[in-house]
Structure 1
Amino acid sequence: MTTPVASLVPGRVEEVHVQHGDEISKGQLLGLIRSDEVGQIESELISKLLELEAERKQYQVKMQLAEKIYERKKLLLEEKIGSRADLELAENELEQERAALRAISDKQSAATEACVQRLKLFGIERHEIDRVIKTREVHHLFEIRAPRSGVLTMRDADPGEIISAGKTLFIIADLSQVWLTAQLSERDVSKVKCGLSVKAQVEGYPNLEFPGHLNFIDSHIETETRTLPVRATIENKERILKPEMFGTLTIETGKASALFLPSKCVQQVGEASVVYVRKSGDFYERRVETGRSLGDNVEVLSGLNEGETVAEEGSLKLLGMALQRLSK
């Protein structure tokens, strides 16, 4: 299973900390990208917030003055010196200043949210915006971190390279399990379903079998080959299997007892299949009925019992001797 790691931030590659084939841990720093475009957005946010903060201070001064005027008009009214009209006018001016302060807060929230939405397009998280608001500092460097553990199977980034947003820089593969895709004969389609146990063999390790299970069956037969694409998840805890290896997939559709012989034990005499069974130190020809072939082995349906010894390497020679006797 592979996971591409892309940079949503456009810019220049500043540092790359990994090499092809490295073991990668989740969260590990893979590289740094310098993005002036993202830095510009953060700079605009800081400028807007500073501007609004200056306005806020002005309105706070005005509101403090309005509060003092209101309190004085209220006291004059209580002492029968001022008029209620003057008090109501002062109260109205105070509310206007309070409303102006609330509007500044709304503008700050709107500016922040607009910046958040713009930076989301580059994969920048909210905590980065919070950092900018708190520190008033612009970061031009952005980290590319591994989303999962695995092996780095592709690196397409070098320091100094200019990259566009969305470019895949790395691919991380979890090789503890691998996918093996295979083509299933049309006649066997009805025998399989997802979840069945499978065994895989690859050319690089012909004597090893790798267990797994079927996890995908395509919905369409390929018209040219009359086969159905299937895929299995194969256990690979020792990391023996590598991407792009060729192999064969055996799907366990059920269990049944059967007698199999190496194919070289069975010889053809006309249309008959024969084997040479050892008895009392000699070999005797016996006709058998054969069935399925499985690799280098053939199934014996009848004519032979389990435990009997048959000739393997010399069976062809025994056939030749038998034919010579017949010709005489």
Structure 2
Amino acid sequence: MKNALLVAALTASAAACGGRAATPSGTGSMAAPAPNVVVIPADSPMLAQIRREPVRIAELPTDEVIAPGKIEANPNRVSKVVLPVTGRIATVLVKTGDAVKKDQPLLTLDSPDADSAMSAYLSAEATVMQMQAALGKAQADFDRASDLFEHNAIAKKDVLTADSALAQAKAALDQGRASREQTLRRLAVLRLKPGDFQQQVVVRSPLAGKVLDLSVVPGEYRNDTTASVLTIADLGTVWVTSQVPESYIRFVQIGERVEIRLVAYPGEVFDGLVSRIADTVDPQTRTVKVQAEMDNRGGRFRPEMYGSIHHIESVAKTLVVPIGAVVENTDSRTIVFVETSPGRFEQRDVSVGKRAGDVVRVLSGLRPGDMVVVDGVMLLKGLVRHT
């Protein structure tokens, strides 16, 4: 009886000090702790460092195409803004990253081309007025000639001459009006009011979006009307562009939904829609460019973010555990810790498959409902005794 009490006391003492289980062996001697088992008393503060989760069954992909990619602005919603005329930048009204509305002023410039456009309009307007006066005279001459001919006062050829002059006056007026319309269109492009000299040219945003690039400063003179001075992009939708190996491209179809995962948001999965598949294979990498469109009305996704496209072909039910539950032992075995009873943790060898997000497939060594340690694994690994 005394020996039994002594063994029980020593067992409790060993568990409290080292967290390891002990059992009697022989008469009056202490047995070695059970191998690969850690016992932590209920009142030990170490228990607060340990979190468990049950082994569960989940549906995971069994055939999946994964291709790295990055976010790009939707090219159908990107505008490279150029200057309509040459001139000196007067003011820059936006900066990179600003949100802008359609037709919002972006910058102003002083341009001699603006005055030239205004002069051309005024000249065309004066010509039209002259042509209108000439047409009025030609019409009056024709009417008078017709009246005189009816009274046998002039010959037929005089009427024909007046009619020809009237037709020429009408044609000249039509041509003058066309020229004036052309100058008005030019003023409209420059957003200038007819007849007002010394106006600054205001460059406005062609669409609502964000300023992605800005390459001008006030005071700079620009004489190239083909070079972009800033870029506006509507990021309400973005594209994820990836390179899919040619051996997998048969699985991907335009219009299909894919999963998008981004480095910036670990553990989150986003929906995408395949919008474009290139018609050619890259001869160097043997890959095909695939682009998937994502809804970005929340503004979380930014161009140049890295991520991956996941195209799932089939799924199957399988055992999974959180990735944090699985560690490698000193002899390169894969292990987990299972709580077999309150405070008793058993190290168990497992075989695992591919990782899927924040979980990993379990191929053998566990059963559904087993309580595996998720937080505190390294603590238990340091306490366990190996045989």
1:245 matched residue in structure 2:
305
Q: TM-score, normalised by structure 1?
A: 0.73
1:226 and 1:263 mapped to 2: Cα distance?
36
Secondary structure of the structure 2 residue equivalent to 1:93: helix
Secondary structure of the structure 2 residue equivalent to 1:305: coil
User: Quick check: 2:81–2:232 contact (8 Å CA) kept in 1?
Assistant: yes
1:306 matched residue in structure 2:
368
1:250 and 1:256 mapped to 2: Cα distance?
16
Segments of structure 2 that go 5 or more residues without pairing to the other structure are 1-72
2:272 matched residue in structure 1:
212
1:145 matched residue in structure 2:
204
Superposition deviation, residue 124 in structure 1: 3.0
Aligned pair partner of 1:98 in 149, 166, 171 = 166
1:189 and 1:266 mapped to 2: Cα distance?
35
1:236 and 1:202 mapped to 2: Cα distance?
16
- Greater shift in the superposed pair: 10-19 or 179-188: 179-188
1:50 and 1:168 mapped to 2: Cα distance?
36
User: Quick check: 1:7–1:166 contact (8 Å CA) kept in 2?
Assistant: yes
Residues 1:12 and 2:77 aligned together: no
- Greater shift in the superposed pair: 56-65 or 271-280: 271-280
User: Quick check: 2:276–2:291 contact (8 Å CA) kept in 1?
Assistant: yes
Superposition deviation, residue 196 in structure 1: 1.8
- Greater shift in the superposed pair: 313-322 or 22-31: 313-322
Segments of structure 1 that go 5 or more residues without pairing to the other structure are none
2:263 matched residue in structure 1:
202
Q: Tell me the amino acid that sits aligned with residue 317 of structure 1.
A: K
2:283 and 2:218 mapped to 1: Cα distance?
47
Secondary structure of the structure 2 residue equivalent to 1:260: strand
- Greater shift in the superposed pair: 146-155 or 279-288: 279-288
Distance of aligned partners of 1:260 and 1:192 in 2 relative to their CA distance in 1, 3 Å threshold: farther
User: Quick check: 2:80–2:228 contact (8 Å CA) kept in 1?
Assistant: yes
Superposition deviation, residue 274 in structure 1: 5.2
Secondary structure of the structure 2 residue equivalent to 1:293: strand
Aligned pair partner of 1:162 in 221, 230, 244 = 221
1:57 matched residue in structure 2:
133
1:124 matched residue in structure 2:
189
Residues 1:191 and 2:244 aligned together: no
Task: Judging by fraction of residues, say which structure has more helix.
Answer: 1
User: Quick check: 2:135–2:173 contact (8 Å CA) kept in 1?
Assistant: no
1:321 matched residue in structure 2:
385
Identity of aligned residues (%): 24
Task: Write out aligned runs for 1:251-266 (5 A).
Answer: 251-261=311-321, 262=323, 264-265=325-326
Secondary structure of the structure 2 residue equivalent to 1:299: strand
Q: Tell me the amino acid that sits aligned with residue 124 of structure 1.
A: V
Residues 1:292 and 2:368 aligned together: no
1:278 and 1:96 mapped to 2: Cα distance?
109
User: Quick check: 2:262–2:305 contact (8 Å CA) kept in 1?
Assistant: no
Secondary structure of the structure 1 residue equivalent to 2:371: coil
Distance of aligned partners of 1:168 and 1:263 in 2 relative to their CA distance in 1, 3 Å threshold: same
Aligned length: 305
2:331 and 2:259 mapped to 1: Cα distance?
37
